[in-house]
Chain A
Amino acid sequence: KAGVTQTPRYLIKTRGQQVTLSCSPISGHRSVSWYQQTPGQGLQFLFEYFSETQRNKGNFPGRFSGRQFSNSRSEMNVSTLELGDSALYLCASSLADRLEAFFGQGTRLTVV
């Protein structure tokens, strides 16, 4: 059974650019969540999607957005990148009951 797949694994972007990260959940999982991990702030919740609907969003500026497609794959977008957006972005998928979340390998974003 394939795990959660995130692409790309690594990204280097310049301030002011935008970036799109992708997450393919485990087959059958319809809940997809995104987290940002930084040394200073730890793991922080970004969004959660279920059946193409965003059910919750964390305390991040509007530059951070996301969506989920009908096949449960999800993307997140960050516009007008800032240096502080450099982080490991983790995606997790769950079944509808959300009893357990499985994390992907993450996308390491570096903003220069």
Chain B
Amino acid sequence: ELKVEQNPLFLSMQEEKNYTIYCNYSTTSDRLYWYRQDPGKSLESLFVLLSNGAVKQEGRLMASLDTKARLSTLHITAAVHDLSATYFCAVDIPGTYKYIFGTGTRLKVLA
């Protein structure tokens, strides 16, 4: 059974610090997605990673994909309070027409 594991599950960090969220998955896929969810809200698409070695950056967030290691990372640079949210990675399994979501990482940036 496919598993998508994120760590850490909870992350409390100071403003201006850097940190990385990890997303490991257990089967072959070259499509990986990162989403952000604010409390009580829907999922906001952050990054779409479609090939091995893909790297994308938006503001203080940067995502990368290593399909050989079955690993994606979401790196946060110089965190600010507005980044406080829950972050999900999701893997698209070819031919199944569904995403498998990770457990989510609840990020809290402390002022």
Contacts and interface: CB of A to CB of B under 8 A. Distances in A.
Nearest to B41: A105
Given A43-B88, A100-B33, A105 B42 contact: yes
B42 A106 contact: yes
B99 A101 contact: yes
B97 A55 contact: yes
A8 interface: no
Given A48-B97, A101-B33, A42 B42 contact: no
Contacts of A105: 41-42
Contacts of B33: 100-101
A90 B90 CA distance: 14
A50 B97 contact: yes
Nearest to A91: B42
A70 to B, nearest CB: 19
Contacts of A55: 97
B42 A100 contact: no
Contacts of B27: none
Interface of A: 31, 33, 35, 42-45, 48, 50, 55-56, 58, 90, 92, 98-106
30 contacts: A33-B99, A35-B101, A42-B101, A42-B102, A42-B103, A43-B88, A43-B101, A44-B101, A45-B98, A45-B100, A48-B98, A50-B97, A55-B97, A56-B96, A56-B98, A58-B98, A92-B43, A98-B92, A98-B97, A99-B31, A99-B48, A99-B50, A100-B33, A100-B48, A101-B45, A101-B99, A102-B45, A103-B43, A103-B44, A106-B42
